[in-house]
Amino acid sequence: MSSQTGTSEGPNIIKRLFIKVGVLPFFLGIALVVFTFLSDKFLTGQNLLNVARQSVYLVLVSMGQMLVLISGGFDLSVGTAIALTSVVSATGMVAMASVFPDAIWLAIILGAFMGFAAALMIGLVNGVGVAYFEVSPFIMTLGVSSVGAGLALFLTGGVPVSGLPFAFGDTFGFGRLWGIPVPVIVALICIIIMWVFMSRTRLGTQVYAVGGNIKAAHLSAINTKRTLMLAYIICALIASLTGLLLTARVESGEANLGGTIALESIAACVIAGVSLRGGIGRVENVVLGAFFIVLVQNGMNLAQVSSYMQMVLLGLLLILAVIFDQLRYRMILSGN
């Protein structure tokens, strides 16, 4: 009780903030200071706007990843869902465009649905494996990730699918609505839907409950298997949407899209305070977490850190975030 003096007041506030929101505010503060110091172009309105636009893809995937993490698992196959969506939808659009040369939007929509269907299969397989066969999410999604990546390469022979309808890239890759880039609008809509889903719907509450204690959830009349399925399916579908946006951006169907996004999205979630044990996590923090990752990448680019070194730093950041997550969980459970 003697520690209630002025000097320990500061650490106490830091500790309480850390327990409440996790490590993100601290990382964000450090990153802003370091990169502002390293490059005078970093803290400019133009650059931050740029970061916001670039972060759209990671923000989307991270929200899906968050859903699976909160349910108590994780999804390593998000990158594969993106790649498969990209090649399937691109192939579909090219094929449909030759069938309906006069109805180009019909071809785009049909192609997009083929992409969604491919990702749905990924989500379904993940969900069935984890929920019904109780395969560890790590192995299940790692296996599916290999299967999906192999299929994407097999379908295209490793060659990018080109000749996409011009309107597709023009609208979803580079288009603007009311002066705002279309991908940003898509992301904003998704953020709002996810926020409502997680905090206002019964299904969202179920995901939290299943991740927190699956046996207790079972005894609260929750269909735990269906809830797990749902998490993996939504995650794959959001990744698929991201895959479409990326395909529009690069204007071709590529099997190597989303190569590092599984790691990045998990890092974004963990930094944003999503617990790796499930049950804990908030949409708004995850959005900020994904933004932070892109901000760090942008800062490293401006500071002319080589892309190889960036991989090293990103991995270290993830490990650091997990260590802090561990500490935080211990603090929560010990009740200090």
For binding to other proteins (CB under 8 A), which residues are involved? 1, 200-203, 205-206, 208-209, 212-213, 215-223, 275, 277, 279-280, 329, 332-335
- Closer residue to other proteins, CB minimum distance, 3 or 307: 3
**CB-nearer residue toward other proteins: 183 or 279:** 279
In which residue are the tokens 């196959």 written?
A: 77
Q: Residue 216 Cβ, how far from other proteins at the closest point, in Å?
A: 6
Q: Looking at the DSSP assignment, which residues form a beta bridge with residue 181?
A: 176
- Residue 170's nearest CA partner among 251, 91, 246 is 251
Q: Please, what is the minimum distance in Å from the beta carbon of residue 336 to other proteins? A: 9
3-state secondary structure of 40: coil
Nearest-approach distance from CB 225 to other proteins, in angstroms: 10
Q: Which is nearer to other proteins, 96 or 321 (CB)?
A: 321
- The smaller minimum CB distance to other proteins, of residues 1 and 45, is found at 1
Q: Which two tokens stand for residue 198?
A: 């997680």
**Closer residue to other proteins, CB minimum distance, 44 or 220:** 220
DSSP 8-class letter at 177: E
Q: Other C-beta atoms within 10 Å of 14: how many?
A: 12
Dist. CA 334–CA 313, nearest whole Å: 31
CB of 334 to other proteins, least distance (A): 8
Instruction: Give 169's DSSP letter.
Output: I
Q: Shortest Cβ distance from residue 218 to other proteins (Å)?
A: 6
Coil/strand/helix, residue 181: strand
Q: Shortest distance, CB of residue 275 to other proteins, whole angstroms?
A: 7
What are the contacts of 158-163 at 24+ separation with CB within 8 A?
Answer: 158/255, 160/252, 160/253, 160/254, 160/255, 161/87, 161/90, 161/91, 161/94, 161/252, 161/253, 161/254, 162/251, 162/252, 162/253, 163/94, 163/97
The residue (of 319 and 332) whose beta carbon lies closer to other proteins is: 332
Nearer to other proteins, 307 or 334 (CB): 334
Q: What are phi and psi of 213, to 5 degrees?
A: -165, 100
Residue 222 CB, shortest distance to other proteins, in Å, is 6
